[in-house]
Amino acid sequence: MAPGMTEAVLLGLVLAGTSATPVEAPPGGDRPAVLSLVQQQFPKSRGWFRIVSGIRYDERDGGLVPDWNTITHPKVLRQDTAGQRLDVRLPLRADGFTQVGLDGHDGFWVRSTPLGARPVPAQVSDGVIVYPGALPGGDVLYKATPTHLDEYVYVVAPEARRTLRYRLTFGPAVARVRMAANILELLDASGVARLRARPPFVRDSKDARRDGEVSLSGDVLTVSFSLAGLAFPVLIDPDWTTTGRMVWERFSYEAYTLGSGDVLAPAGCTLVVCPNGIGMPACSVVLNRTELYSPSAGTWRDVGTLQQPRFGYSGARLDDGRVLVTGGCTTPRCTAMTDSSELYTPAQETWSAAPALPPSRAWATATKFPDGRVLVVGGCDSGGCFGDAAIYEPGTNSWRTVGALGTPRGLHTATLLSDGRVLVAGGCSTLDCQAVLASAELFDPASGAWTPTGALVSPRSGHTATLLPGGDVLFAGGCAVANCVPTLQSAERWAVALGTSRAVAPMAGARHHHSAAALSNGQVLVAGGCFTTGSCTRASELYEPTTDTWVTTGNLSVNRGYMASALLEDGRLLLAGGCNENTCLPWAETYQTRVDPGTDGGVDGGTDAGTDGGTVASDAGVDAGSGQKDAGGPGVPDAGTEPVKVKPCGCAASGSGLGLAVLAALGLLLARRRRA
């Protein structure tokens, strides 16, 4: 066959029928060797690549396009909380540009061309795009979901340092580019960040993680990693995401609604699954990063760094708008704590030191009085828990010691009562919760003293305490022993008039480290939480105090526990982050608490639809380090439900059978044209 005829045949083969059909490996065809190696040497990646979109060839611009319609699992996020969805084009050759934009936002995109890449053709298998040998000493892989484009650089041979460079071109609708704290953000004309290049990291074959360094000079983005001392092979992970997800997956943190209506989320624990029982979680990374949620835009952005990384801290928003945090764990397994305190100033978006509160502790409680002072109670270190209490005086920026608890404790609840007193109940007497408490005490701010009150019916930690209309307090769920076997399904009501607690109707499902909030109609919403095994639930239910009954309500978008909550100015309850049995979570969702009497609230229609796919590890977000990438575990159902049946890959059920052969043919065609 003449060379011209060969090119014509190959070109016809590429264009014939491929734009409407996902590109996939032919039946019985081998998977790319690189993909198989990555999954063998990084076993967690089997989950990351399990549920992704199918890939189709787009005739219009000659690129590879993720087909979001091929993702059918109900927990895969179709768009983020801001209503954003990626519009992605990937190159047929590794030296081509990748375009990442927003669906429905004309001209809002960035094109990223890797510098020094070789012109190797793409290979596609189960929705994963592979460019073998694309970089000197490195292979490149891509996977995509509607809110997240992951790039992986697989490096086998040991080297001391790896630098990646990309030439960036921005669409006409990108008004500004912001670079701060290793995060690149693209802003629209209204000043809202819409696309984000997350802080990159590298993971070695022993699951050690190391952050990379990012810089932008002119139109060249440079990502650099020190690889010395890592166990090869390594997997480098830069990525692009929408901004309707948190910058960092996190749990064991708190959230505070600011005077502006935005929500501040400082520090916390990341890159690990939820712990079994109520023992201390083991973080891969203790965060010092802070981010801010905008309810109007539905987006998150990084706003500053605490001086001390911490999780398990306590804090409160002050009347002048600043946020106080104190104490917390500073090491991944909480082997060290801090007594340091810090203040966040919203106008400057910065943290500054506040007076320390010795001794170093974690898992204390902080309760703000109506006059603006903050009561911090208890907490634990590795030697046990404390009974001391102190009041922070914002006017003098100082701490004042008050009377001590009768029973030292941490991991308890503290509830501000209608009469101004504080009810402290339950908790643990040691950091590892080997003794869970039932006792309760009352603090009177007028006298600065504690008095015992009626004990709980059951010892509890990891429970919730919610103030009811009339001044009583509802306690729900939690654990009575350290291993949380069984998790408590019971609830009880402490009567303010009697100072005693009595059992009330149990919840429909057992749970600990869940969320609870009072609705405007007097009901109490209980949502999410975890079980004995570390698995978590999406289930939510409502308690009606006038009839002592529970009724089920709308499920969360994803199973989660250990999340933070904050009440927004419009009455919605924001639940953000948390973890489940598979990963830390970057997603938030809202529930409307302002409801008419006789009705219940509801999950906001604009909340997250779920996760970015995956089973044991999927794409609820780059895990910034642990390799666990599933926000809800599609294929890992809630306890008590039938297993969810999913296809073994993200490809469409039907296919053309061309797959790799088409791409190989195109590569051959392009190579011949270059030689010509």
- The full 3-state SS of 527-571, as one line of letters, equals ECCECCCCCECCCEEEEECCCCEEEEECCCCCCCECCEEEECCCC
- For residue 200, the Cα-to-chain-centroid distance in whole angstroms is 16
Find the range with the poorest average confidence among 61-65, 168-172, 320-324: 61-65
* Residue-level length of the chain: 676
CB atoms within 10 A of CB 457: 18
Token pair 């590429």 in the structure block, residue: 14
Give the pLDDT of residue 46: 81
Give the pLDDT of residue 665: 42
DSSP-based three-state secondary structure for 486: coil
- Alpha carbon distance 659, 27 (integer Å): 9
Per the prediction, the chain carries an average pLDDT of 84
Structure tokens belonging to residue 114: 């890797």
Nearest to 650 by CA among 30, 57, 68, 12: 68
Token pair 């945090």 in the structure block, residue: 325
Report residue 661's pLDDT band, with 50, 70 and 90 as the boundaries: very low
Nearest to 87 by CA among 77, 79, 95: 79
pLDDT digits (tens, 9 = 90+) for 555-612: 998 899 999 999 999 999 999 999 988 788 898 999 999 876 555 555 553 333 333 3
pLDDT digits (tens, 9 = 90+) for 456-515: 999 999 999 999 999 999 999 999 998 898 999 999 999 999 999 999 999 999 999 999
The percentage of the chain sitting over the pLDDT mark of 70, rounded to a whole number, equals: 82
664 pLDDT higher than 90: no
Q: What is the pTM of this model?
A: 0.82
Nearest to 106 by CA among 172, 23, 11, 194: 172
Residues forming beta bridges with residue 466, ordered by sequence position:
474
Find the range with the poorest average confidence among 143-152, 161-170, 416-425: 143-152
pLDDT digits (tens, 9 = 90+) for 377-407: 999 999 999 999 999 999 999 999 999 999 9
651 pLDDT higher than 80: no
Mean pLDDT of 540-545: 98
521 pLDDT higher than 90: yes
Nearest to 148 by CA among 66, 212, 34, 222: 66
What letter would DSSP give residue 611? B
Report residue 14's pLDDT band, with 50, 70 and 90 as the boundaries: very low
pLDDT digits (tens, 9 = 90+) for 193-219: 999 998 899 999 998 889 899 999 999
Packing angle of the helix pair 659-675, 3-15 (nearest 10 deg): 140
351 pLDDT higher than 60: yes
Of 424 and 272, more confident: 424
Give the pLDDT of residue 60: 76
- Alpha carbon distance 313, 39 (integer Å): 37
DSSP-based three-state secondary structure for 292: strand
Strand residues in 26-80 grouped as ranges (E) = 54-58, 63-67
- Alpha carbon distance 576, 55 (integer Å): 31
> What dihedral do alpha carbons 116, 42, 210, 180 form, nearest 10°?
60
- Alpha carbon distance 361, 384 (integer Å): 10
Give the pLDDT of residue 163: 97
Give the pLDDT of residue 75: 62
139 pLDDT higher than 50: yes
676 pLDDT higher than 90: no
The edge-to-edge listing of strands for the beta sheet with 299-305 is: 256-257, 263-270, 285-294, 299-305
